[in-house]
Amino acid sequence: MRSRLIATAVAAVVGSCGLVAGIAPAQVAHTAAAKARLQVHKGKLGSYIVDAKGMTLYLFEKDKGGKSSCSGACAKAWPPYTTSGTASAGTGVTASKIAGTRRQDGSTQVTYGGHPLYHFVKDTRPGQTAGQGATAFGASWYVVAPSGNKIDKS
């Protein structure tokens, strides 16, 4: 009886690990991309920049000189779009506007038109723009147009 109880407990722990593993893919969009790729998505805001998985990318108006002003709690809500390789341009994206900036933690954040790029944790599916026009952490957040400018509409 005791061995059956232990086996059941082990199965429950392993099963809960599987549940945690099942949750992890939602975070994949917010981890460093080995091959970051910017693309253009067309939606209710017009044409805007997304990552290779179609997840919307934002600029933070507090950022200056191509450097990120978002860390700590800010970076948890607005994960920086980082890469371990060189970012590339998809159709409609101007390759010369893509660059990178070194973050305090040593990672490389992808920039477009001089703006460090971020995801928003409340965007859970490709093309969502829940962060558009939000004010948080001392400034506003906007979806980025293919021109490299913010899209200033809701």
Q: What is the predicted pLDDT for the residue at 1?
A: 40
The mean pLDDT of 97-115, rounded to a whole number, is: 97
Closest by Cα among 136, 135, 99, 132 to 116:
99
Cβ–Cβ < 8 Å for 82, 107: yes
pTM reported for the whole predicted model: 0.80
Instruction: Measure CA 125 to chain center.
Output: 12
Q: How far apart are CA 12 and CA 81, in angstroms?
A: 35
Greater model confidence, 33 or 63: 63
Confidence of residue 28 (pLDDT cuts 50, 70, 90): very low
Whether residue 136 is predicted with pLDDT greater than 50 in this model: the reply is yes
Q: What is the pLDDT of residue 33?
A: 75
Average pLDDT, the chain: 84
Mean pLDDT of 128-153: 97
CA-based nearest residue to 30, from 81, 98, 106: 81
**19-33, 92-106, 127-141: which has the minimum mean pLDDT?**
19-33
